[in-house]
Amino acid sequence: MSQIEDYTMVPPKEKNSVKDRPSMIDIISSETYDSLKKEAEQKSTSLRRHTNNILDYHFEKQELLKKMLPDLEVIMFREGLIYVMDSRRNSVAKIGLGEKFFHCDLCKKSDCVHVLLAMTQDELPKVERLPNKK
Ligand SMILES: [Zn+2]
Reduce the DSSP state of residue 57 to 3 states and report it.
Answer: helix
pLDDT tens digits for range 45-84: 999 999 999 999 999 999 999 999 999 999 999 999 999 9
- Determine the distance separating the centroid of ligand 1 and the alpha carbon of 83, expressed in angstroms: 10
- Determine the distance separating the centroid of ligand 1 and the alpha carbon of 86, expressed in angstroms: 9
- Determine the distance separating the centroid of ligand 1 and the alpha carbon of 97, expressed in angstroms: 13
Centre a 10 Å sphere on the Cβ of residue 60 and count the other Cβ atoms it contains: 10
Q: Give how far Cα 78 sits from Cα of 15, 23, 113, 120, 130, Å.
A: 34, 30, 20, 16, 12
- Determine the distance separating the centroid of ligand 1 and the alpha carbon of 111, expressed in angstroms: 8
pTM greater than the 0.85 cutoff = no
Q: Give how far Cα 83 sits from Cα of 86, 89, 101, Å.
A: 10, 14, 16
- Residue spans of the domains in the chain: they are 3-14+21-67, 70-133
